[in-house]
Amino acid sequence: MREYYEKQLEDLNKQLISMGNACQKSIEITIRALKGSRQSLTWEVSELCDKICHMEREIEEKCMKLLLLQQPVASDLRKISSALKIVTDMERIGIQAGDIGEMILTGETDLSDSQIPLKEMAEETVHMLKDSMKAFLREDLDLARQTMARDDRVDSLFLEIKRELSKKPGKDGSAIDLVIIAKYYERIGDHAENIADWVIYSITGEHEKVKK
């Protein structure tokens, strides 16, 4: 019975990693769209968003079955409950990447302004998500904590973008769109930080954010 249970936990981990990879790809597609490849790439984000939502439902169902049909020990209970929280954050990352893609596709915003560190901000969120999933896979506390700390950099870039855009004459619709896109990336960073925090909880039983 325990062998079967361990196999189910292993499958759950694989599904979480697969969903994390899909979320990472969705952000990377928006970055390529920021660099000029708008049409086909942003439609890809929409398709990935649907896939991510479907994966969330599958993982939630597996978690509930493990909780209801098995009798998990404390450490396994933390892993399963953390997985339920992690998929919620990943699903929101997918939705926000989809929203960014839609704004890029339907808008006429100039995304080439070198004064605005939007691509740097987006790339930082990709690294945060990638490292949070690595920390999950390896049960790496140090990497999870480092990932959480990097959210400060994302927040700093968001404030820098707002400052730069506030200097632009007229504060036209293009500037507003850029702030909204930057805000989506800032939220993605928050969700990646949450994932890292849940990784820490799954290992230690304590939340790092509470200590801040």
How high is the pLDDT of residue 39?
64
- Pairwise CA distance, residues 200 & 135, whole Å: 9
Domain made up of 2-211: CATH architecture:
Up-down Bundle (1.20)
3-state secondary structure 76-103: HHHHHHHHHHHHHHHHHHHHHHHHHHHH
Is the separation of the CB atoms in 154 and 166 below 8 Å? no
What is the pLDDT tens value at each position of the chain, 212 positions in all? 678 888 889 999 999 999 999 999 999 998 888 877 666 666 788 788 889 999 999 999 999 999 887 777 888 899 999 999 999 999 999 999 999 988 887 776 666 665 689 999 999 999 999 999 999 999 999 999 999 999 999 999 999 999 988 887 655 667 888 999 999 999 999 999 999 999 999 999 999 876 55
Is the separation of the CB atoms in 121 and 185 below 8 Å? yes
C-alpha separations of 33 from 28, 105, 111, 129, 148 in Å: 9, 9, 9, 19, 27
How high is the pLDDT of residue 38?
64
pTM of the model: 0.92
Exposure string over 95-121, b if 16+ CB within 10 A, otherwise e: bbbbbbbebbbebebebebeebbbbeb
**Look-up of token digits 């998500």:** 129
DSSP 180: H
How high is the pLDDT of residue 204?
95
Question: Taking each helix axis from N to C terminus, what angle separates 141-149 and 173-204, rounded to the nearest 10 degrees?
Answer: 160
Is the separation of the CB atoms in 128 and 151 below 8 Å? yes
How high is the pLDDT of residue 170?
57
How high is the pLDDT of residue 44?
81
